[in-house]
Amino acid sequence: MRIILCGFGVVGQSLVKLFESRSDELYSKYGLKPRVVGVFDSKGSTIDPSGLNFKKLVDTKKKFGTVKNYASIKNSMSGVEMLKNVEADVLIETTASNYKDAEPGMTHITTAMKRGMHVISVNKGPLALAFPSLLELATYNQVMLKFSGTVGGGTPILDYAKNSLSGERITSFAGILNGTTNYILTNMGTGISYEDALKDAKDKGYVEADESLDLDGLDAAAKLVILANWILGIKVTLPDINCTGIRKVTLDDIKKAEKNNCSIKLIASSDKELVVGPKEIPNDDPLCVNGTLNAIAFTSEHSGTQTIIGKGAGGTETASSILRDLLDIRQEIARD
């Protein structure tokens, strides 16, 4: 399968390492031979229709800070030119999530779909701002759009709700969908101030470069948009979410919650409306997970409430979700 990889940061590099380490098994067990024919980062690109060498890509990025030094004759094609001119079956979009105009991911995804490529995106920006129209574009161009890694990283939250609960009607859900804010609130539960807890999260590399994405609830809201569209079939985008972050949560609020045997968590929920905001959760509720963990409770008509807990992020975990999507695409193509 010929792949163009957009973005070569934590997730992109984890993915090619996964391809490298599991290549024999992927072929023998699933008949999948991932051939990365083009990669680009913010500084340049590299192309080889016969397939780029995974180890050399990672080594080049490490040494030069960009993939453009992969070959001695440098390729000068921009990412969009690559998507318009290089033959590939699948685009894997791993550039940074942006909730203002969703670029550059939006242009990558729409250009690829218009050329008939299937798309796997772990970038939440385009889905948060245009989920309904992107699905329509995929249907119109008869391509698949997959995005397992956008919610829960490697924890298969979307697959569980869509496939394991198929035939059920999910009536509502509530979840902790952002590990960074959960880490900060968990630390505040031990008496540490918001400022110190935030600094600790930053020192550990948990906070996005634009901290507002975590602290103001935008990352959780983007995931809520994806869940609402995909699981509940509600056509919404980011402006439809009633969103409050954790900046105003005080140690007093946390102490008050403790008196009720509760903890304050940043909850994304779909009850009467789609809301992200701090909420008291009973300490014995399975949803009340600590540290950077994510958790989501789905309530369905006949099966009651079920909670899934797992790591919500991480390069390798998210890369494994891309592999899952790739195998799905491979199987669906084979079925057709």
Residues that bind ligand NAP (CB under 6 A): 7-12, 40-43, 66, 79, 94-97, 104, 122-124, 149, 153, 313-315, 318
- Biggest CA pair distance of the chain: 66
Measured from the CB of residue 32, what is the shortest distance to ligand NAP in angstroms?
Answer: 22
Q: Which is nearer to ligand NAP, 132 or 314 (CB)?
A: 314
Measured from the CB of residue 285, what is the shortest distance to ligand NAP in angstroms?
Answer: 25
Q: Which is nearer to ligand NAP, 249 or 326 (CB)?
A: 326
Measured from the CB of residue 104, what is the shortest distance to ligand NAP in angstroms?
Answer: 4
Q: Is the dihedral of CA 203, 205, 206, 211 positive or negative?
A: positive
Q: Which is nearer to ligand NAP, 153 or 245 (CB)?
A: 153
Measured from the CB of residue 253, what is the shortest distance to ligand NAP in angstroms?
Answer: 28
Q: Which is nearer to ligand NAP, 249 or 308 (CB)?
A: 308
**Long-range own/partner contacts, residues 325-329 (CB < 8 A, 24 or more apart):** 325/120, 325/146, 325/147, 325/148, 325/149, 326/1, 326/3, 326/32, 326/34, 326/90, 326/92, 326/120, 327/30, 327/32, 328/144, 328/146, 329/1, 329/90, 329/118, 329/120, 329/144, 329/146
Rounded Cα distance between 315 and 9, Å, is: 9
Measured from the CB of residue 34, what is the shortest distance to ligand NAP in angstroms?
Answer: 18
Q: Which is nearer to ligand NAP, 42 or 85 (CB)?
A: 42
Q: Is the dihedral of CA 111, 158, 208, 220 positive or negative?
A: positive
Residues that are catalytic: 223
Measured CA to CA in angstroms, residue 291 lies from 162, 184, 258, 309 at distances of 27, 8, 17, 12
Cis bond before residue 104 (omega within 30° of 0) = yes
**Beta-carbon count within 10 A of 333 CB:** 13
